[in-house]
Structure 1
Amino acid sequence: MSRFIGEESTSAGSKCVLTDSPTWIIDPIDGTCNFVHRFPPVAVSIGFAVNRELEFGVIYHCTNEKLYTARKGQGAFCNEERLHVTKETGIKNSLILTEIGPKRDPATLKLFLGNMERLLSCEAHGVRVIGSATLALCLIASGAADAYYQFGLHCWDLAAATVIIREAGGFVIDTSGGPLDLMSCRVVAAGTMQLAQSIAQKLQTIDYGRDDD
C-alpha cells in the first residue's frame, strides 16, 4: 500500500515519516510567494521512494511549460532533452543558488547573510534567490547554475529534485558534508562532489529541526 507525504497534509496534522513503504512525496505548489505575486518560478514536484530510496522525480515548471523528469539509473530530462550538470569544482567563478527560508528573526538573518558573504568572499561569481527550491535545483541539473544550498527546505521540496540532479550527474549531500538526510531540512547540491564539499565547509548551520520530529 502506497503512502503519501505532502506539504498540505503535513500542515493539516499528518505525521511526516518516511518508511520502507512505497511513498509519494509531493509539493503541489512550490514557490507559493511567487505564485501570490505572479512571479514566474512556480512548480509542482512529485517524488517517489521505495525502501527509503528515491526512485523517480517529476517537476513541472507551471509558467514555463518545462517538465523535468528522472528515474534512477535512466538519466534526467527536460521536455525529453537530456540534462547534464556543470563540472565546476571550486567556489571561485561558480554561480550558486539558495533560498532565504521562512525564519526572519535577526539571529537567523545574520547567519543567512554571513553564509552568503563567505561564499562571495571566495569569489563566487554570484549568488541568486529565485523563490522556488525545486526549480533552483532543476537549474543545477540543467547546468544553468553550479550549486545550491539551503537551510529550511522540506522533504517535498527535495525528493524529486534529488533524483533529477543525481541522474544529471550531480551530487546532493548534507550541509555537514555527509550523505543526504531527506528529513534534515538542509542540503547542498552541485555538479561535482568537490564543489558541494567546498560549499558545505563554508556554511554555518541554521537550525530548522527535522521534518520527522
Structure 2
Amino acid sequence: MDHQVKEYFDYALQLVKEAGKVLLTAKDYEVESKSDVYDLVTVYDRKIEEVLVKKLKDKWPDHRFIGEEESEVSGIPDLTDEPTWIIDPIDGTANFIRQLRMSAVSVGLVIRKQQTLGIVFNPFTDECYTAVKGHGAFLNGERIYTNGETDITKSIFAYELSLARNPKYLDLYMYRLKHLMKIITGIRSLGTAVMSACYVADGRLDAYQCDGLYPWDIAAAGLIVTEAGGKEFDLMDPNFLVAASKALADEYLIHEKKADEERINAKNIKAIFD
C-alpha cells in the first residue's frame, strides 16, 4: 500500500471509530426534516460531520470535502483531481432515531476522481467495513468477498422502498417490483445505503439498488463492494446498483429495462387518451 494512502487510511479509521462512540452515547436530540419528509437530520449528523471535516482539514488543509450536511447548503461540487473526502455522518438517520441498530458512519476518499479508500462503521453492531483500492475489502480486519451469485432467480435483493413516497420514484419502483418479484428469491429494505451495499460485499445480500442517491451515500461502500469482487456503478450517478457479480448486475438491468419500457409506454398511452 502506498505510504501516503496508508497514512490517510489509518487517520480516517481512527476518526470514524471515535465518531461511532459518539453515536453510542447519543440521547435527547431534536429531529428535523429536510426537503423530503422521509429525509431526517439530527444534531448528531451535523456534529459528527463538523468534527470529521475539521480534524481532516487540520491534518490536510489542501484537501477538498463533500459532506451531506454541508452540501445541503452549498450544493454538491464536481470532483477534481485533488484528494476529496466524501462523508456521511449518519447513514440511516431514521433507523438511528428509532433505535434500530442499522446506521453507520461512512467516509470515502477520492483521488484523481478514483475511489481510493472507504470506511463504513456501524457502532451498534460493531461492524467496521474497510477497503483500499487494490488491496481488498475487510470486515473487522477479516478479508471478505461477495458470494459471487450470478443467477437472479436465487438472489436476495435490497431496495430502498421508502423512497417510493416520492412521486418521482413511485411508478418507477412499482413497475420494477412487478417484474422482479416474479423471479427473485426475496426482497429486503434496510433503510441504509452503506450497510446494504456492505452486506452485498460480505455475501449476506446479492444485490442492492437505490435511485436518487448522493455521493456520500455510496462513496465508501461502493469501493468496498468492488474490492470484495462485486460490481458497482458511477459514484456521481444518483441511480445506483451494486451486485455480487457483473453477470447478476446485467440480469437485473435487463429486467429493469423491460419494466422501465412498460412504464413509459403506459404513460404515453395515458397521455393520448387524456
The answer to whether the superposition gives a TM-score over 0.5 is: yes
Q: Structure 2 residue aligned with 1:54, among 100, 115, 123?
A: 115
Deviation string 1:105-133 (CA, Å, 9 cap, x unpaired) is 456322212212211112x1101000000
> Among 153, 159, 174, which residue is 2:219 paired with?
159
Instruction: Quote the offset at 1:38 in angstroms.
Output: 1.2
Q: Which moved more, 1:111-120 or 1:43-52?
A: 111-120
The residue number in structure 2 matching 1:91 is: 152
Aligned pairs (5 A) from 1:16-95: 16-95=77-156
Structure 1 residues 103, 89: CA separation in 2 closer, same or farther (over 3 Å shift)? Answer: closer
Partner residue of 1:148 out of 204, 208, 213: 208
Confirm or deny: 8 A CA contact 2:94 2:191 kept in the other structure.
yes
Determine whether 1:137 maps to 2:197: yes
Aligned counterpart in structure 2 of residue 193 of structure 1, from 224, 246, 260:
246
Instruction: Indicate the SS of the match to 2:191.
Output: coil
Confirm or deny: 8 A CA contact 2:230 2:245 kept in the other structure.
Answer: yes
Higher relative contact order (CA 8 A, sep 6+): 1
Partners of 1:30 and 1:107 in 2: how far apart?
22
2:74 is aligned with 1:13: yes
Displacement of 1:14 in angstroms is 4.2
Q: Name the aligned partner's letter for residue 155 of structure 1.
A: P
Distance 1:114 1:75, change over 3 A: same
Cα distance change of structure 1 residues 188 and 105 upon mapping to structure 2, 3 Å threshold: closer
Compared CA separation, residues 107 and 171, structure 1 to 2 (3 A)? closer
Alignment-mate amino acid for residue 27 of structure 1: D
For residues 109 and 14 of structure 1, what CA distance do their matches in structure 2 show? Answer: 25
Tell me the CA shift for residue 187 of structure 1: 1.3
Partner residue of 1:100 out of 161, 174, 183: 161
What is the aligned residue count? 198
Runs of 4+ aligned structure 1 residues displaced above 6 Å come to: none
1:127 and 1:103 map into 2 onto residues whose CA distance is 15
Q: CA deviation at 1:68?
A: 0.4
1: distance between equivalents of 2:208 and 2:76? 28
Which structure 2 residues correspond to residues 178-189 of structure 1 after superposition, within 5 A? Answer: 180-189=233-242
Cα 1:66–1:195 shift into 2, 3 Å: same
Greater radius of gyration (CA): 2
Cα displacement (A) at 1:62: 2.2
How high is the TM-score relative to the length of structure 1?
Answer: 0.88
The AA in structure 1 aligned to 2:74 is G
Match of 2:13 in 1: none
Unaligned runs of 5+ in 2: 1-61, 264-274
Secondary structure of the equivalent of 2:161?
Answer: coil
More strand by share: 1
> Over aligned residue pairs, what C-alpha RMSD do you find?
1.7
Instruction: Please list every run of 5 or more consecutive structure 1 residues that lacks an aligned counterpart in the other structure.
Output: 173-179, 207-213
Q: C-alpha deviations, 1:32-79, integer Å up to 9, x for none?
A: 111111111000000001110000100001211111000011111111
1:209 match: none
CA contact (8 A) 1:148 1:189 kept: yes
**Superposed CA offset, 1:146-167 (max 9, x none):** 1111111111011101111111
Report if aligned partners of 2:147, 2:206 keep a CA contact under 8 Å in 1: yes
